[in-house]
Structures are given as structure tokens and as C-alpha cells.
């Protein structure tokens, strides 16, 4: 069930039997020569909807913007300040908690969000802990990268051994190609495998190190049929993790 396609009565009925909600979160940023700017949030959304459809979980609207300041050297990239994202996530959780939601499961498509999202959870817990005469709160937040769990990561390594990379990965591009096959177009890349990860700082530094936006990846190998396999595996991973979280 998608929150944006439900009525308030639907939500009240859902809350009779479940207090959990899945929130996809990603970014709007460059993903190399053949990766969509929406890759991170599109992939997270696709997996979240797959989980919701499979087990009847509520899925919130996708948080499409993230912490992407280091990609601003590439046209079309958009970032939130960490403080903005922390406030946004905290407000969303508090709003939904007011109606009775207690378990917030974030499916993340952008590694650059991890530090900021963790800080957002800490802000939520701190606001609860600092209440005078506070009572135990049922609110719990968890975040997982869709690509990091055992099934999806195993398939990515099988398909792209040693060259999946760290950004504009072959796996994430394949998943977005399966979600939106109408966007697929061949693009030549040289070298085929981008330079490996090294520490970077602001957006100028990032583009200097990685001129075409890739880090250690070979997304010219991406295929929609690979994305189909990754989708099935990642949905299974996230269903397992969500059900454990709810238990």
C-alpha cells in the first residue's frame, strides 16, 4: 500500500494491524555517463514498492533529495544541507508517529546519506529522551542500503566481479534500467573501469578526481536483465530485514 495513494481512512485501517512504514530515500545527483540523475531515489523507490506489494506494508512517498554536495560539479545534481535533511527526516517521523506509526524502515539508495540519516535518528531519540518526565517511546528507526545485503550484493559480485565500483555502480544503473527501460542508451566510456575510490571533499575536488562522475565502476556493463535479477534479490533482502525489524 502506498501512502500517497491511500485515503486517511485507509491509513487508519492499516494502523489497526501494523505500525510499520517503509520510507525510500535517495538523492538527485549525477551517475556517470549512462546513469540517470534520479538513480538513487528511483532504485530505493522501486525496491520499497516491491517490498510493499509483496507483504502488504505501507510505503511512504520517496525522499528524492539527499546529501549530495560533492556532486554539484555536474549539471542537474541537487543537494540538501545535512542540517536540512536532518530536520526533514525528523519532521516526517514525528508527523507519522503522531498518527500511530512506530517503526520507520528507511530503504536507502545513496551512501552519502548514511551519516546524515544516522544523525537524524539521533535527533529524534534525543528529543524523546529530553522530554520532562518522559515515558518509554515505541519509536524506532532503521536504515539499510538496498544494495548491501547478502542476496543483492552476491549477485552484483557475480555480474561485475571487482568492477561494480563505489559510485555510478553497474548494479545500481542496471536496476534503474530495469525500472525505466525506455531510458537505456549505449554510451562509450574510457577507461571502461573508472579510477578507484580515494578521499574527496567539495564538488570541485570530486570532479577533478573523477571527471566523468564514476568511482571504480564499469556501468557500460549494466543491463536491464541484470536489474531484474537484482530487483528480485534486493526485495527478498529487504522483506527479511523489515520483518525482523517489525518482530
Tens digits of residue pLDDT in 132-152: 887 889 999 999 999 999 999
User: For cell 487508519, what's the residue?
Assistant: 12
Return the SS3 of 16.
helix
Confidence band of 164 (pLDDT split at 50, 70, 90): very high
Instruction: State residue 136's pLDDT score.
Output: 86
Instruction: State residue 134's pLDDT score.
Output: 75
Confidence band of 189 (pLDDT split at 50, 70, 90): very high
State the first-to-last Cα distance of the chain, in angstroms, to the nearest integer: 20
Q: Is 102 buried (19+), middle (13-18) or exposed (0-12) by CB count in 10 A? A: middle
Contact 88, 220 (CB under 8 A): no
Confidence band of 130 (pLDDT split at 50, 70, 90): very high
- The domain that holds 18 is classified in CATH as 3.40.50.10310
For 190, which DSSP code? S
Contact 192, 33 (CB under 8 A): no
Instruction: State residue 133's pLDDT score.
Output: 81
User: Percentage of the chain with pLDDT > 90?
Assistant: 97
The pair phi, psi for residue 105, each rounded to 5°, is -110, 105
Q: Number of structural domains, the chain? A: 1
- What residue numbers bound the domain in which 120 lies? 3-246
pLDDT at 199 over 90: yes
Cα–Cα nearest to 177, from 219, 218, 237: 219
Amino acid at each position: 500500500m502506498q501512502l500517497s495513494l491511500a485515503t486517511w481512512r485507509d491509513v487508519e485501517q492499516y494502523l489497526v494491524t501494523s505500525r510499520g512504514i517503509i520510507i525510500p530515500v535517495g538523492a538527485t545527483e549525477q551517475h556517470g555517463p549512462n546513469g540517470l540523475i534520479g538513480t538513487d531515489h528511483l532504485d530505493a523507490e522501486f525496491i520499497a514498492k516491491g517490498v510493499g506489494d509483496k507483504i502488504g506494508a505501507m510505503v511512504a512517498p520517496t525522499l528524492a533529495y539527499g546529501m549530495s554536495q560533492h556532486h554539484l560539479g555536474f549539471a542537474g545534481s541537487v543537494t540538501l544541507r545535512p542540517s536540512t535533511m536532518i530536520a526533514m527526516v525528523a519532521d516526517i517521523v514525528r508527523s507519522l508517529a503522531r498518527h500511530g506509526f512506530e517503526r520507520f524502515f528507511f530503504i536507502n539508495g545513496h551512501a552519502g546519506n548514511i551519516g546524515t540519516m544516522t544523525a537524524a535518528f539521533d535527533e529524534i531519540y534525543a528529543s524523546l529522551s529530553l522530554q520532562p518526565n518522559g515515558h518509554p517511546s515505541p519509536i524506532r528507526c532503521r536504515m539499510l542500503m538496498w544494495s548491501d545485503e547478502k542476496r543483492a550484493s552476491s549477485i552484483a559480485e557475480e555480474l561485475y566481479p571487482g568492477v561494480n565500483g563505489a559510485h555510478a555502480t553497474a548494479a545500481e544503473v542496471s536496476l534503474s534500467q530495469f525500472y525505466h527501460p525506455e531510458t537505456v542508451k549505449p554510451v562509450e566510456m574510457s577507461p571502461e573501469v573508472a579510477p578507484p575510490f580515494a578521499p574527496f571533499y567539495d564538488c570541485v575536488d570530486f570532479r577533478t578526481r573523477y571527471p566523468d562522475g564514476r568511482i571504480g565502476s564499469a556501468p557500460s556493463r549494466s543491463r536491464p536483465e541484470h536489474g531484474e535479477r537484482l530487483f528480485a534479490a534486493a526485495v527478498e533482502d529487504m522483506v527479511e530485514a523489515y520483518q525482523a525489524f517489525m518482530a
